[in-house]
Amino acid sequence: MPIKTFRGLMTTQTQDTIVLHTNDGSTGYRIVKFQAIPEKMGDANGEHTLKIYKIEQTTIDLDVDFSDNTLLGVATVSNSTGGTTYPPRMTVIFDNEIFNQDIYITHADNAGSAKCNYYIELEQVKLDLNENTVATLKDIRNQA
């Protein structure tokens, strides 16, 4: 199936929306790649946490809770001006779940106010009526 890509630059304590919903819900998506890269490597200290959620977030924080069934993915990346003592490193974890509604990306920086880029690849999946119903009902349940 086709791959759709999305990218952006986020300031800390912000949220981006990726619009994916359709009128009939017959198109689903699965995350195949999620990457984060600081805006300025070696120019500013940063400890970035970017998270992908199935629902809009009212609080943007650094906490990662894998028991949260609305969490689809997490990317952490850190860098510092003293790259030899604090070398850049990145960790990415994402779920293999199929969803058919909008997703929300949050960014928080523990070390200050540095900006961070994200890049996401989503595999587009054609859903049959049963899969569509299951994905939609999961999303409705998450809103409650």
The CA distance from 30 to 20, in Å, is 11
CB 142 within 8 A of CB 70: yes
Confidence (pLDDT) at 58: 95
Q: What is the pLDDT of residue 83?
A: 55
Burial bucket for residue 60 (CB in 10 Å: 0-12, 13-18, 19+): middle
Which residues of the chain fall short of a pLDDT of 50? Answer: none
Is 103:135 a contact under the CB 8 Å cutoff? no
Residue 24: exposure state from Cβ atoms within 10 A (0-12, 13-18, ≥19)? exposed
What is the pTM for the complete model shown?
A: 0.86
Residue 124 has which token pair? Answer: 């587009």
| pLDDT at site 13 | 94
Residue 144: what pLDDT? 56
| 91-111 CB burial, b ≥16 within 10 A, e <16 | eeebbebbbbbebbbbbbbee
